[in-house]
Structure 1
Amino acid sequence: MKDQRLITLSHWLSVASLVALIALCISWELWLAPMKEGGSWLALKGVLLLPMLMGVLKGRRYTYQWGSMYILLWFVEGVMRAWGDHGLSQILAGAEVALASLCFASFVAFAWYTRPSLGKPVQA
Structure 2
Amino acid sequence: MAAEMAPRTRFFRIATQLGYWLLLALLIVWHGIMPETDESALPRYLSLILWVLPMLFPLLGLVKGKPYTHAWFNFILMFYFLHGLTTVYTHPDERLWSILEIVLTTIAFVGATGFARNRGRELGLGLKKQKDAK
TM-score, normalisation: structure 1: 0.82
Shift of 1:38: 7.7
| Equivalent runs, 1:13-32 vs 2, <5 Å | 13-32=15-34
Tell me how large the CA RMSD over aligned residues is.
2.1
Unaligned runs of 5+ in 1: none
Matched, 1:63 2:65: no
Unaligned runs of 5+ in 2: 125-134
Shift of 1:99: 0.6
Determine the C-alpha separation between the residues in 1 that align with 2:85 and 2:30: 15
1:48 to 48, 54, 69: 54
Give the AA of the match of 1:52.
Answer: P
Question: Does the C-alpha gap of structure 1 residues 38 and 71 become closer, same or farther in structure 2, counting only changes over 3 Å?
Answer: closer
TM-score, normalisation: structure 2: 0.77
Shift of 1:121: 4.2
Give the AA of the match of 1:93.
Answer: S
Determine the C-alpha separation between the residues in 1 that align with 2:100 and 2:53: 18
Equivalent position of 1:82 in the other structure: 88
1:111 to 116, 125, 128: 116
RCO (CA 8 Å, sep 6+): is it higher in 1 or 2? 2
Give the AA of the match of 1:51.
Answer: F
Larger radius of gyration: 2
Determine the C-alpha separation between the residues in 2 that align with 1:64 and 1:33: 33
Equivalent position of 1:99 in the other structure: 104
| Superposed structure 1 runs of 4+ greater than 6 Å apart | none
Shift of 1:30: 1.6
Q: Percent identity?
A: 17
Give the AA of the match of 1:41.
Answer: L
Output one character per residue of 1:89-112: Cα deviation in whole Å (capped at 9) or x when no partner.
121011001111111100111012
